[in-house]
Amino acid sequence: MASSSSRQPTSRMSSFLSRMPRPLNIPSGAAGRIQEYPMGTLMEVVRAEGAVLMLMEYENTHILRLLKRGNFVMKLMLHTISTIIVATCMVDNMHWPLARDAPVVRVASRSFLFALPGLLYALWFPPTSTESTVTLLADVFRQFSHYEDFKHVATDVGVSEDQLSFWLKARAQVQPILHARLQQYGHFIGLSPTAVGSQASELLRAVRMSDAAQLVMKAFPVGLLNPTHCDIHDLRPHIHNGRAAANGPESYPTIVVFTNIVEALQFIWVIATDQGHLLRAENRPGGVHPVGFKVWCLNRSGLACLLRVLIYAGELPVRPANHQTGIVERRENGNGTNPGPQPMAGIEMRQTEEGEASTSEHNQ
C-alpha cells in the first residue's frame, strides 16, 4: 500500500534531481506530492494548469484531435532495488511516457510536440503560464527525452501559437525532424504496422499508450516488475568522463518499453479477429540506443508479465473503439465497475480549401 507525505524528496530523489544539467528546484508544494511504495517512490515533479493535449493524426494529417484539457503533471518513479526510473506525463487522465529515444520539440514559447512510434502529440499551455513554469517544463523534457528547441517555428509560420491553424503549419516544418530522430533510434515512423482493420484508430492507440504508461509506472513500486524482467544497457563513456558522472547511475527507459505493449495488444486483436492479412511489413531501420546513458527495456518475461495483467485485470478492450466516438469498451472488473476512465472524443480540426482552420466537436 502506498503512503503519501508532505516531506521533501527522498535522499536519492534529491540527489538525482540535483545532478540534472540544470538542477530542478522543486517547489515545496510539489515535493509534498510523494507516494512511497515497498519497492519504489513516485513523485510529482512538475504541475502546470490549463494545459491542452491534442493528437495529430497520421491517417489524416489535416485532423487535430483534442484529447484532454486540464492540469499537466509530470511524475517520476525511482525503483528502490535497482537503477531503473520511469517518467510519464499526463493531462487530466491521459498519460504518455518520456524516453531518451523519443523526441520532444519546443515549437513556440508555450507549445511542444511529442513523437512516439505511431503517435504524435501536441501540448499547449495558456498565455497565463509563467516563464518560470515553462522553463521548468523545458528542463524536465531535456532531462528525460530527446529534447530540441525550435521556438523560431512560431515566427517562421507567421501564426500565433494560440491559433489552431498554427499546429498544422508547425507540423509541416517539424515532422521531418521528428521522423529523422525516431529513425535514428531504429523506430518506425507514421502509422504502426499493426494499425489495421479494427485496430486502425489512432485514438485507440493513444488510450492504450496511456494505459501502458500508467502500468509501467506503477508496476515497479508495487513489486509486480523487478530487475529480472528487464535488460539494462550501460552506454555511458568511461566513468571518469565528466558527462557520465553528471548523468549518474540511473537507467532510463527506451520508448520500446511502452510501444511493445501497445503493439502486442494490437497484434493480438488483429490475429484474433482474422485480420492478419492486413498487417503491413514493418520498415524499422537499424538504430542505436541514446549514447551517454544507461537505458533499460523489458525482456520477454517482463512483457509477458504485463500482458497477463492487462488481460486478467480487465484492461484489454473486448471490442474495438467506436470510430465515431472514440469510446473503448472494456471488461468490467470483479465488482462490476469499469476499471478506468474513458477518453473524451475530442475536437477534430480540418484544413479547408481556403487554408483556414475549422473545427467540429463530436458527441461523446
What is the pLDDT at residue 329? 38
Concatenating the DSSP letter of every residue in 177-220 gives: HHHHHHHHTT---SS-TT--GGG--HHHHHHHHHHHHHHHHHHT
98 neighbors 104 (Cβ within 8 angstroms): yes
| pLDDT, average across residues 329-358 | 37
Share of the chain above pLDDT 90, in %: 50
- Whether pLDDT at 319 is above 70: no
Beta strands (DSSP E) in 213-356 are 230-234, 251-253, 294-298, 317-319, 329-330, 347-351
- Whether pLDDT at 290 is above 80: no
Q: Tell me the whole-structure pTM to 2 decimals.
A: 0.80
Per domain, the residue ranges of the chain are 7-328
Of 239, 220, 224, the C-alpha closest to 296 is 220
CB neighbour list of residue 275: distance below 8 Å, 6 or more residues apart? 196, 197, 198, 199
What is the pLDDT at residue 233? 87
**Most confident residue range from 9-13, 225-229, 327-331:** 225-229
CB neighbour list of residue 346: distance below 8 Å, 6 or more residues apart? 54, 55, 65, 66, 67, 203, 326, 361, 362
Average pLDDT, the chain: 79
What is the pLDDT at residue 3? 55
Share of the chain above pLDDT 70, in %: 71
Give burial (CB, 10 Å; 0-12/13-18/19+) of 53.
buried
* pLDDT tens per residue across span 103-126: 999 999 999 999 999 999 999 999
- Whether pLDDT at 296 is above 90: yes
| pLDDT, average across residues 85-109 | 96
Rounded distance between C-alpha atoms, residue 220 and residue 38, angstroms:
9
* pLDDT tens per residue across span 177-234: 999 999 999 899 988 888 888 888 899 999 999 999 999 999 999 999 999 999 998 8
CATH number, span 7-328: 2.30.29.30
* pLDDT tens per residue across span 19-30: 655 555 554 444
Helix (H) or strand (E) holding 241: none
251 neighbors 227 (Cβ within 8 angstroms): no
For residues 336 and 137, which has the higher predicted lDDT (pLDDT)? 137
For residues 10 and 214, which has the higher predicted lDDT (pLDDT)? 214
Task: Grade residue 142 by pLDDT with cuts at 50, 70 and 90.
Answer: very high
What is the pLDDT at residue 354? 33
Q: How far is CA 94 from CA 18, 60, 340, 341, in A?
A: 29, 22, 11, 9
- Whether pLDDT at 326 is above 80: no
Q: What do you get for the CA distance between the two ends of the chain, in Å? A: 35
* pLDDT tens per residue across span 45-74: 999 999 999 999 988 878 899 999 999 999
CA dihedral 233→235→238→239, nearest 10 degrees, is -60
- Whether pLDDT at 295 is above 80: yes
For residues 302 and 62, which has the higher predicted lDDT (pLDDT)? 302
Rounded distance between C-alpha atoms, residue 133 and residue 129, angstroms:
7
Query: Quick one: cell of 353?
Result: 480549401
23 — phi, psi (to 5°)? -50, 135
